[in-house]
């Protein structure tokens, strides 16, 4: 797969095999960003979707059903066709948002195969 083979990145949280939350990011938006902006975007999405552990340094409110997520998937789609998928376990994240930022961006690069400037 090459970077241009997908048009959407879907980030999904799971708990007990049920989908808790989903967020879609379009490739055209990512292409306009540098690596720091994409890192921030991914972490912001995760912060909006996740628990107190990662949100200790933020002020936004949690949705009540996303406090105990177990797994998160990063999925690349071209329209409705799945091109790639990575499942991440909650234990892979730390309470340090900067570390989680770099970890999540690394997984994004692993999935897309592209490093942004």
Closest to 20 (Cα-Cα) out of 85, 64, 56, 76 = 64
Does the residue 39 lie in any domain?
A: yes
Does the residue 117 lie in any domain?
A: no
pTM of the model: 0.76
Domain span at residue 29 reads: 3-112
Q: In the chain, how many domains are there?
A: 1
pLDDT of residue 75: 93
Query: Side by side, which strands form the sheet with 18-26?
Result: 18-26, 8-15, 71-78, 81-89
Closest to 54 (Cα-Cα) out of 109, 14, 45 = 45
Percent of the chain clearing pLDDT 70 (strictly above): 74
């Amino acid at each position: 797969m090459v970077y241009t083979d997908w048009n959407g990145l879907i980030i999904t949280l799971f708990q007990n095999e049920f989908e808790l939350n989903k967020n879609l990011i379009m490739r055209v938006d990512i292409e306009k960003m540098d690596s720091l902006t994409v890192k921030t975007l991914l972490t912001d999405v995760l912060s909006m979707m996740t628990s107190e552990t990662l949100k200790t340094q933020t002020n936004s409110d949690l949705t009540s059903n996303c406090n105990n997520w177990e797994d998160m998937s990063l999925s690349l789609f071209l329209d409705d066709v799945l091109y790639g998928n990575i499942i991440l376990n909650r234990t892979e994240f730390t309470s340090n948002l900067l570390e989680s930022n770099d970890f999540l961006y690394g997984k994004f690069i692993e999935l897309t195969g592209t490093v942004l400037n």
